[in-house]
Amino acid sequence: MSEAETARPGNFIRHIIDEDLEAGKYKTIHTRFPPEPNGYLHIGHAKSICLNFGIANDYHGKCNLRFDDTNPAKEDMEYVESIKNDVAWLGFHWDGAIRYSSDYFDQLYDYALELINKGLAYVDELTVEQIREYRGTLTEPGKNSPYRDRSVEENLDLFNRMKNGEFAEGKACLRAKIDMASPFIVMRDPVLYRIKFAEHHQTGNQWCIYPMYDFTHCISDAIEDITHSLCTLEFQDNRRLYDWVLDNISIQARPRQYEFSRLNLEYTLTSKRKLQLLVNEKIVDGWDDPRMPTVSGLRRRGYTPESIREFCRRIGVTKQENVIEMAALESCIRDDLNVNAPRAMAVLDPVKLVIENLPEGYEEILNVANHPADESKGRRELAFSRELYIDRADFREEANKQYKRLVLGKEVRLRYAYVIKAERVDKDVAGNITTIYCSCDTATLGKDPADGRKVKGVIHWVSVAHAKPAEFRLYDRLFKVANPAAEKDVLSTINLNSLIIRHGFVEASLVNAQFNVAYQFEREGYFCTDNVHSSPDKLIFNRTVGLRDTWQA
């Protein structure tokens, strides 16, 4: 990691850890990243990954990767594998073997029995709707279930029958016996276990009852000797239940939960449920669509792990909810690629240009730098010829002085090559320009015109004889509004221009472009080969980001 990344940023969580270490509360720091394998990780998860693994790295501690796999109906091994790949791609390494909450199902069951034996849990037969009704509201207390005062013996028997599959789904559940009048709804006899007849990706059909997140998470933390359990602010009230469970079972370790604000990013969603909707409705081409805020989508679009880590470093860790501008994320990838991306030339909307004062079949090999400020990136050979492609937007028959590209009767420089002058054009029957005819000042390779003429514009090009056909996927923000999550109908806010496909040409050096290696296509933006569909026989380039922010007012 870079020097900037290894510099330890201050935040309230690190201050807590510093105080705990100074007081001798812990000898080593142990964190965990506990995703539920019910979807792909998104940029919000990247913030949590950088926080949990970053703290472990900085304090020479440990960080576990633990899958919160207590809901088999929504989980899949595809998600498990994608999460493992994303964490590793971001540059982090988990301690020891991968953990699963399901590793602890036997222990969790035993702790549930302990709560029943202590008179602190009971089997309830209210329906889901009745439980919700009995729970009360923010202004009214709940009321006790009629099954709340069952004996310990009866609850043990019923819970065993639940485990043996003698109840249908929804016919019984295990609830904690806490306080139905608590001002915190999470403490009004929360459900600890529910019945689900679903095959689990780790335990198969061994279980038909599964523990709830709030019961599982704190115990898993304690089993793994986690010192600081870091989660987002929506779990702030749940900390009371986290502590209550650990206070009332016979487990020695005592982790502490701390909450930080989640990452909210403009023009996108960070809800796996809503992202799943986009996938299911085929608004996007899967979880790794380059318009998705998933880590795999960002990777496919050309974002680097360094840029995402830098973004997470810049936004910091606080308790204050806020919305981060998309420009902040885009700035990180621009800063990264401006320094690291080799340059190349591509024409996305081609029109032919013929230099008439060069002979038929003329060809010259130019030796050019791969990066204007970094000689270590080497050089490449670039074929220059009589017939070229330029971008259609780089020519006008008439233009004002602000237009610095090729104009009929005026001069411009071809990047790395000569000064040319547009003399005439051919058009088709519809009036579209098909060919631009030019003359070339052959004394201007690498130098200004000898008579002192000032040529201000520079345009890019590719040789017709050596150009390689390519598809360019111009990705933009998926939503038209800054906060799509606030809209009643998320799908109505889709930006219909979030993907525009162009067909053009790239220079010959890109025929073997490596997957996920970004290039700056001069004057066009940063692009990378698509790691799903691109091949040497069909080059496809995804636009990572433009050279500048075009969304600013």
Q: Which sequence positions are flagged as catalytic?
A: 36, 262, 272
Rounded (5°) CA angle 73-76-78: 165
Q: How far apart are CA 553 and CA 551, in angstroms?
A: 6
| Cα 117 off chain centre by | 45
Q: How far apart are CA 80 and CA 82, in angstroms?
A: 6
Q: Phi/psi zone of residue 325: left (φ > 0), alpha (ψ -120 to 50 degrees), beta?
A: beta
Q: Which of 411, 358, 421, 351 is nearest to 384 (CA)?
A: 358
Q: Are 263 and 43 in contact (CB under 8 A)?
A: yes
Q: Which of 314, 316, 317, 267 is nearest to 293 (CA)?
A: 267
| CA pseudo-torsion sign 103, 105, 110, 116 | positive
Q: Are 468 and 542 in contact (CB under 8 A)?
A: no
Q: Which of 513, 522, 549 is nearest to 541 (CA)?
A: 513
Q: How far apart are CA 325 and CA 311, in angstroms?
A: 11
Q: Which of 53, 517, 12, 31 is nearest to 312 (CA)?
A: 53
User: Side chain identity at 53, as an amino acid letter?
Assistant: F
494-496-498-501 Cα dihedral, nearest 10 degrees? 160
Strands 99-100, 228-232: pairing kind:
unpaired
Burial 232-255 (b: 16+ CB within 10 A, else e): eeebeebbbbbebbbebbebeeeb
Q: How far apart are CA 159 and CA 173, in angstroms?
A: 8
| CA pseudo-torsion sign 440, 443, 445, 451 | negative
Q: Which of 82, 31, 513 is nearest to 295 (CA)?
A: 82
Query: Number of helices (H) and strands (E), helices first, in the chain?
Result: 13, 29
Q: What are phi and psi for residue 161, nearest 5 degrees?
A: -65, -35
